[in-house]
Structure 1
Amino acid sequence: MRKLSGIFLVGLCVGAIGAVAVTIGHGVAEAPREIAVTEAVTTMSESPDTPSLSSTPTPSPSSKPSAKPESQGEVKADAAELDRLVAGGDVSVVVFDRQAGKTTVSVHADRAYTSASLVKLLIALAVLERGGPTQQVQKMLSRSDDDLASQFWSTYGGPAIVTGWAKKIGLTGTRPPADPGRWGDTRITAKDVVRIYQYVVAHAPGAILAALRAATERGSDGFRQYFGIPDAAGDRPWAVKQGWSCCRPTRMLHTSGLVGEDGRYVVAVLSEHPASVDYATASKRVTAVVAALLG
């Protein structure tokens, strides 16, 4: 297995975390050169001081027996180099090391983006907290099912889902959509996405992580959602929630999730592209950012 370089710790071995061992072909975009970090790093607590959604212990993400031990140490990332990989657009990256209990990469962490399907993480929390249908929630997450998200949105509170969970988890840059019916227009930041994952790992039912490990290659709308983390991770474990939307007026493409043995790293890469950049090109650019992180 290759050794990590770039933003993650040297020696990090990370591979596909699929619930029920999801197996994929990992076509990584053209490998960018390694990057050296210059932007200052911020620190988050691993477990926000928030009430537990469930008293049942949450299982850690599955891992492959072939993975090698991870090393200690920290590397940073160059914001200008990451920006270059998303030419003409914007990109934000936050990486949180759960083992070390600190943020190791923070690039444009507080820049706001349209959430697209990443808000489904908050919708899932809201539904499960109130005893909603677990299997349907898992389908909404693993297949990024918009119809189910719309049903849950209208049934479980709409914009109040965002405001309520933002307050509970401590999200500082997350806002409900201006149009109450358009859940995908929720505003969110990379820093907040990482905090959501921290909460999910510490407090949420294991059903959420199981669905993220079982993310399908194609979403319910047919879109290929293995860009970013899945395509760049090789044989490293992962559990992901992806997001994509267009064009109001730009194109959003986000990759987020847990990477590494026992879901050690929480990774959020949010990106915005001109509408003239098609999904195929934007997907390759987001994958290139993650490939740069993994080396």
Structure 2
Amino acid sequence: MRKVSGIFLVGLCLGAIGAVVVTASHGDAAATQPIAVAETATTPSATSAPAPEPGPPATSATPTSSAKAEPVEVDAGKLDKIMRDGTASAVVFDRDSGKTTVSVRADRAYTSASIVKLLIALSVFEQGGGPVADVQRMLSRSDDDLASRSWSAYGGPAIVTRWVKKLGLTGTRPPEDAGRWGDTRITAADVVKIYRYLLERRSTPIMNALRGATERGSDGFRQYFGIPDAAKGQEWLVKQGWSCCRPTRMLHTSGVVGNTIVVVLSEHPAKVDYATGSRRVTELVGTLLGEGEGEDVGEGGR
């Protein structure tokens, strides 16, 4: 009996040691395995139009910043030097500090072009109507036909006046011609307020649409000027605007880079073509983001 007990005890000890070894081996193996992360794709509305070009990868509804750049000192003279012709306004708002770090001609009014689509989208979603995919396509591809339908369906100029009151917009006005939504008047300061509202409310369908902005708009215009071209390698979401010529050319870039709201509104003489104006707006944003002291950052993709 004693011999049997001794053998039995030795067996138990060896078994326990083996179990510990095996367990440790599994633990190490598990620690070295990569963790699979699912990618979230934003799907614009399904229509007969060509499929949207791929936009930046979708992440959470609120952008985050991995590295904070030092505040950049920008004044009207620096903007004017880059613009050469016309006028530009710029506002940069740091969400981490809750402070405006750049404010140049923040209250100067411009024709909104497609920037007003932000207010149209807000009206559609907050009134609980309209296909989500159509509204996202209106934003990501800047589709004018879809904007016109929603403008008519949700109140036309009343869309603007409702949001002016709700958000405390001080320089935004509806268009004089009720049918021309692109003639809404806006300011850079007010556009920042719109983005702050979107981010605070975590309007995921809208933010995903802006994050998934395609390189070409529905009219074929290249809408990666400004923020997308200047913020290479960074997370961004944007709503752009362009129009011509009543009598000037408008080129606006607005959105979020990391955790910073950036808005540049610009008005150019009609003699300045879209390609030249786009490069200048990109250069302006590059300066605001500290990508160089007025150097032309070009039109490279993200």
TM-score interval for Structure 1 and Structure 2 normalised by the shorter chain:
0.7 to 0.9
Larger Rg: 2
Instruction: Specify which of 140, 148, 151 is matched with residue 149 of structure 2.
Output: 151
Structure 1: gaps spanning 5 or more residues:
1-17, 25-57
* 2:287 equivalent to 1:287: no
For residues 214 and 199 of structure 2, the distance between their equivalents in structure 1, rounded to whole angstroms, comes to 21
1:177 aligns with 2:175: yes
Q: Offset of 1:293 from its aligned partner?
A: 1.7
- Structure-1 separation of matches of 2:66 and 2:127: 40
Q: Which AA in structure 2 matches 1:284?
A: R
Residue 55 of structure 2 is matched in structure 1 by 22
Q: Which amino acid aligns with 2:151?
A: W
TM-score (norm 1): 0.77
Match of 1:59 among 58, 61, 73: 61
Match of 1:104 in 2: 101
Deviation string, structure 1 residues 148-207 (Cα, Å, up to 9, x no partner):
000000000000000001110110000000100000000000000000000011125210
Question: Contact 2:175 / 2:181 at 8 angstroms: preserved in 1?
Answer: yes
Correspondent of 1:272 among 267, 270, 278: 267
2:235 maps to amino acid: P
Residue 247 of structure 1 aligns with an amino acid whose one-letter code is C
Report 1:70-149 matches (<5 A). 70=68, 74-132=71-129, 133-149=131-147
Asked if the contact 1:19/1:212 (under 8 Å) is kept, the reply is no
Map of 2:203 onto structure 1: 205
Match of 1:216 in 2: 214
The amino acid that maps onto 2:248 is T
Shift of 1:88: 1.6
Deviations 1:257-278 (A, max 9, x none): 0001xxx100000000001111
Q: How many pairs were matched up?
A: 237
TM-score normalised according to structure 2 size: 0.75
Asked whether the 8 Å contact 1:169–1:195 carries over to 2, the reply is yes
Task: Give the fraction of aligned pairs with identical amino acids, expressed as a percent.
Answer: 66
Residue-by-residue CA offset, 1:42-82 (whole Å, 9 max, x unaligned) = xxxxxxxxxxxxxxxx8313x6xxx74326x5332122011
> 5+ unaligned residues in a row in structure 2: which ranges?
1-40, 44-53, 292-302
Q: Is the 8 A contact 1:213 1:240 kept in 2?
A: yes
- 2:294 paired residue number: none
Q: Offset of 1:110 from its aligned partner?
A: 0.3
**Aligned counterpart for 2:251 among listed residues 240, 250, 253:** 253
- Judge conservation of contact 1:253–1:286 (CA < 8 Å) in 2: yes
Q: Detail structure 1 runs of 4+ shifted over 4 Å in the superposition.
A: 18-21
